[in-house]
Every structure is written in C-alpha cells, then in structure tokens.
Structure 1
Amino acid sequence: MDTIAATESSTANLRVSQFTALPSPAELAAELPLDAHAANVVERGRDQVRAIMDGLDDRLLVVVGPCSIHDTGAGLDYARRLAATAAEHEEDLLIVMRAYFEKPRTTVGWKGLINDPRLDGSHDVGTGLKMAREFLLNVAALGLPTGTEFLEPISPQYTADLITWGAIGARTTESQIHRQLSSGLSMPIGFKNGTDGDLQVALDACQAASAAQSFLGIDGDGRASLVSTAGNQDTHLILRGGRKGPNYGAGDIAQATGQAVQAGINPRMIVDASHANSGKSHHRQAEVALEIGAQLEAGGASAHAIAGIMLESFLVGGAQKLDVAEVAAGEAELTYGQSVTDACMEWAVTAEVLANLAHSSRARRTPAV
C-alpha cells in the first residue's frame, strides 16, 4: 500500500495525517476469486434464507458463530465443527456461520479484523480486507454459508459476493447511509431494533431499504460513483432487546408482528438470543435459546413468526480482554478460540443448543396429536 502525506491546505484535511492507498475491490477479487463451488454455496444459501423468511421453507434459520473473527485459524477450526453439525441437522435447521469482521464501538476499542487485523493498533486495512475475503472463501469451501454485519459503507464491495445473509446493527439501523447501502445489497438483510428497544426505526429501515435509492459510493475499480439501486425486497426485523429488557416473549413477538403487518413489512423475523435479550450473558443466552425453542414447540402465531435465531458462540466460552498496546509490545497472551469482544457460548454448549433447536423446529413442523 502506498502512504501519502495529507496535502497542505488552508481549509481541507487539517486533522488528516495521511492517506493510504488500498487495492480496489476488483483487484482483490482477482487475487482471491469466487470459484464456482463458493458461488453455489452463496447463491443456494441466499435462496434458502429467502425461502425461510417468506415461510416457504419450514426450517429454522440459525445464524451462529463468534461475536467477531479475530483469529482466522480459530475461526476455521470453529467453521469445520459447525459445518459437520449443519449437515447433521440440515432437515430441521439452516445454519449460517456468523462471520463478523467489523465491530461498532460505543466509544473506542478494537474495530474488527478488517480495520486492525494484527490487533495491535497498526490498522493495516489492506491486509484486513484480504484476510476477511480469504476466510470467507475457506468457509465456503466447507459448504457453509456465512452472515455478517455491514458497518462500513465501502467494505461490502470487497466481500459481499461471498455473504449469504447480512445484518444492520442496532446503532446503525437508523442511519440513512446503511439503509441506502442495504437497498443495493444482493442478499437478505435484517435490521435490528434500536438499542432502546424501539421497533419503529427498524421498520422504517426495512421500508427505506426496499425502495430504489441513489447515493455516493465506489465501483469495483474503487472510483467514486453515483450508486443507483433497485431496492432490496428481502428485508426483515431482528429483535435484540433494549434498555427496558428483552423482547423475545410471545407477547413481544405478537406486537412486533402486528407492527410489521401494519407497516407492510415481512411479519416473520429473527430473534437475537444475545445482547439485551440475554443481558449479554453467554450463560443466559443458552437459556434464551431454549425458551425460544419452547415457543416454537407450543405452536401458534408467535411460533410461525419466528423464522430464525442468532447466537454468539466460539470454541471457548466467555470473553477475554484485548489490549492492543500489549499486543503491539508482544506481551499479550490470548486464549485460543475465545472471543475478544462479546462473551460467547463454548462449543459443547452450542452443539447441545443446536440439537435442542433442531428438535423444536421439528416439533413446530409436526402437528400435535
């Protein structure tokens, strides 16, 4: 990458120290191309997610994986286990691996693999983009579809051709930029309710993203461009709880369904078992998943409205502190396979939760005698 000092000007770039050139999306795709097998995994996964969200496929969608990918080796170790489990439960669950490379921060902190792949504050974004794309190709080679949160408006040009399902987070659902971006993305997109628990911002986002939009962006060659979209008809709600507490109960689901119908939005939704729905406790998250499974087995309107569930899971349970200064100094000793962002369920618990959800999905399909 070429680093160029910011040009002197009496008014512009006064707080910019330098610009660092990055490869264009087309250049990175040429270096790490999408092969026919990976393309089939992505396209088939998108069709399956779409069918579940539209109620044409009665399986349960499960988006599960690390809160964030910080170690691609550990991430692939997890992916291999998940691919085997996905095949085991494929009649009842559509499992999509959570592969998050960008992390929103409330104040400051590590922003994810793309922004800081060495975890040391060096912000080698060019390397981060390459590592993210290579990771997605390796997971697709296992036959496993992936889902991610789209945070930066430019980075999707580098990786979106490998993504089956996407999310817009609670902090950015209200953002016009992210609604416009979603209108042009090629996969189903879920919008999370706001951090305060408000559903309206997510409903508004679904409506905005389904409409044609025109906005500033970049093309495959990295040139600034006017991006004109046709609108994304595959949008839906993600319930993740809020400051007032969880929102995955039958009453919450019924209220969300009613609001979605009134707004002309898909009434089927995904429930995030983490974040405010579990009080960010990875132990509680497993309990929430079981409670959602019980709703599926009970049948009725709320059972039909729950199209999917999100889970945060890694090889080792909990989370560890990441100090980029310690990493830079060579003093950090990170635990292999443990999250450096939100706490995650360990693999053994995850496997049990997935087996229970498969049972619940099957029970929802089978009418009570």
Structure 2
Amino acid sequence: MSFNFIKEVITPEQLLKEYPLPEKDALLKKKRDKEIKDVFTGASDKFILIIGPCSADNEDSVCDYINRLAKVQDKVKDKLILIPRIYTNKPRTTGEGYKGIAHQPDPEKKPDLQEGLIAMRKMHLRAIAETGLSAADEMLYPENWLYVEDLLSYVAVGARSVEDQQHRLTISGMDVPAGMKNPTSGDFSVMLNSVVAAQTSHTFLYRNWEVATTGNPLTHTVLRGAINKHGQSIPNYHYEDLVRLISMYQERDLQN
C-alpha cells in the first residue's frame, strides 16, 4: 500500500474534554466574536487588524507577543479590534519543509500529528487565558476545524487552498469570519468564486459524516499579492486593484 497508517489520533471530542475552554474565557470569546461580527455586518464602524507572525512555532514566544499586543488593544479599543495571528499550520509551495506546530510540534524531531493537535489547542487556550484575545488561524487542514472551533474568532484560507472544494464547503459551516485569499496567480475571479461557495449552503462528507451547512455570510476576500507570468512577486493592494475588485463584487450577490 502507498499509505502507512501509523496510529489513530485523538478525536475532537476527546481533545476538547482533555483541554476544555474555561467558562470565563468562553464568555470573553463570545463577547469578542460579537464585536468582530458587528464590523463585518456593518453594525460597528471599527476597523479590524489581523496581525502577527506568519507561523506560530513556540508557545512561550507566541504568548509573549500576544501579551504585548493586548496592551496595544487596550489603547486602541475605541477604534480598532486586533486579532492576533496564531498560524499553527504552514502551507508549503512544494510540500517540503516545516509545516507548522500542528504537524511537527518540535521542529527538531519527526512529525507527530497527535502531539501537534494537542500543542495547537494548548497554544490557543493559553493565549485567550492570558490576554482575552481570541485569535486567527489558517485552515490548512479542513478536518482540524473541530479541534479548535470553540477557540478561533477568525479563519484564513490560503492562496494554495482557496480553489479546493473541501476548504470552501467546510468554511460554509463555520460561524466566524473567514478570509479567502486570492490564489498565487492573483486571479480575482477564483477568490470570488470561493466566497460564493462558502456563503452558500451545502451537503457533503466531513469526518465520516454526511453534514449540511447553512453557508457563512461572514466569508470575504483577502488580497495577499501574487506571482505574475514572469515569476515575479507583485502587490495587488493599489487603488486600481481595489477598484477592479469592487467592480467584480458588484457583479455578484455577496454578503461580504
């Protein structure tokens, strides 16, 4: 066989029972989720900043950073909502290299997915407990959502994943904002198609279940730069890019 089934990993139910979100932190997150949602629905005129390093690979360093960020949040709370990036999954262009703490909790050792799932959840739990700031994470593996669904306030779908149907359908069942990045090619239509799919209800196979979703109206686009036909990295956040994206938005019936 091409697959070597190494071991069966812990289920989401088991992990949440072993590492639960304390009630006081759950209440903080619920309040924060409401504040974030209000921005996306237009009920609040605050701005959202999703901020932090590309990869979260050390719990102490990550929590030190977020503790500092929490002090900034207190100063700007009337105008800004800061969502720290705790990206525990690292997409790779060629599939080679470090894939994040969820895949390899100790970069000096071999991958261990079960320990990675535990490390991923513990990092998010600690960040909320110490700072009250629930975070964003990249949904590299759609099946990982249930391990952290009670912890995240924002989900990103990367440029290499945005065309994948399972990512789009999984996002359609989430109740937090989800940012769909443009693909590495920079094609806006691909990005917008992913938003259409994620805002729509679906029935599909997920973790050995037939599931039905209602669609996620908080799904939206994220401009992350691109690579042109000459292999050069180019920005796509200039005025003319935004005008073109707005024009394409107006051609579709999107909620965000």
Q: Scaled by the length of structure 1, what TM-score is found?
A: 0.65
Structure 2 equivalent of residue 134 of structure 1: 122
Please say if residues 38 and 162 of structure 1, whose CA atoms lie closer than 8 Å, have aligned partners that are also in contact: no
Structure 2 equivalent of residue 184 of structure 1: 173
Structure 1 equivalent of residue 225 of structure 2: 241
The equivalences for 1:321-340 within 5 A come to none
Structure 1 segments unaligned to the other structure (5+ residues): 1-13, 219-223, 268-369
How far apart in 2 are the matches of 1:130 and 1:156? 13
What amino acid is aligned across from residue 128 of structure 2 in structure 1? Answer: A
The equivalences for 1:11-26 within 5 A come to 14-26=1-13
Structure 1 equivalent of residue 71 of structure 2: 84
How far apart in 1 are the matches of 2:251 and 2:32? 29
Structure 2 equivalent of residue 367 of structure 1: none
Q: Does 1:72 align with 2:59?
A: yes
Structure 2 equivalent of residue 349 of structure 1: none
Structure 2 equivalent of residue 282 of structure 1: none
Please say if residues 217 and 255 of structure 2, whose CA atoms lie closer than 8 Å, have aligned partners that are also in contact: no
The equivalences for 1:19-38 within 5 A come to 19-38=6-25
Q: CA-to-partner distance for each residue in 1:242-272, whole Å, 9 max, x for gaps?
A: 12421112221121112112112246xxxxx
Q: CA deviation at 1:16?
A: 1.9
Q: CA deviation at 1:230?
A: 1.2
How far apart in 1 are the matches of 2:16 and 2:169? 23
The equivalences for 1:80-119 within 5 A come to 80-107=67-94, 108-119=96-107
Structure 1 equivalent of residue 231 of structure 2: none
What amino acid is aligned across from residue 210 of structure 2 in structure 1? Answer: L
Structure 2 equivalent of residue 123 of structure 1: 111
Q: CA-to-partner distance for each residue in 1:299-338, whole Å, 9 max, x for gaps?
A: xxxxxxxxxxxxxxxxxxxxxxxxxxxxxxxxxxxxxxxx
How far apart in 2 are the matches of 1:38 and 1:261? 39
Please say if residues 260 and 266 of structure 1, whose CA atoms lie closer than 8 Å, have aligned partners that are also in contact: no
Structure 1 equivalent of residue 248 of structure 2: 259
Please say if residues 46 and 187 of structure 1, whose CA atoms lie closer than 8 Å, have aligned partners that are also in contact: yes
Please say if residues 224 and 235 of structure 2, whose CA atoms lie closer than 8 Å, have aligned partners that are also in contact: yes
Please say if residues 46 and 188 of structure 1, whose CA atoms lie closer than 8 Å, have aligned partners that are also in contact: no
Q: CA deviation at 1:50?
A: 1.9
Please say if residues 182 and 191 of structure 2, whose CA atoms lie closer than 8 Å, have aligned partners that are also in contact: yes
Please say if residues 43 and 164 of structure 1, whose CA atoms lie closer than 8 Å, have aligned partners that are also in contact: no
SS at 1:23's partner residue?
A: coil
Q: CA deviation at 1:53?
A: 2.0
SS at 2:149's partner residue?
A: helix
Please say if residues 225 and 236 of structure 2, whose CA atoms lie closer than 8 Å, have aligned partners that are also in contact: yes
SS at 2:222's partner residue?
A: strand
How far apart in 2 are the matches of 1:133 and 1:201? 31
Structure number with greater CO (CA < 8 Å, separation at least 6) is 1
What amino acid is aligned across from residue 130 of structure 1 in structure 2? Answer: I
What amino acid is aligned across from residue 178 of structure 1 in structure 2? Answer: H
Q: How many residues end up aligned between the 2 structures? A: 249
Structure whose alpha-carbon radius of gyration is higher? 1
How far apart in 1 are the matches of 2:146 and 2:182? 25
Structure 2 segments unaligned to the other structure (5+ residues): 229-233
SS at 1:94's partner residue?
A: strand
Q: Does 1:42 align with 2:6?
A: no
How far apart in 2 are the matches of 1:247 and 1:233? 24
Q: Does 1:206 align with 2:190?
A: no
Q: CA deviation at 1:121?
A: 4.6
Structure 2 equivalent of residue 9 of structure 1: none
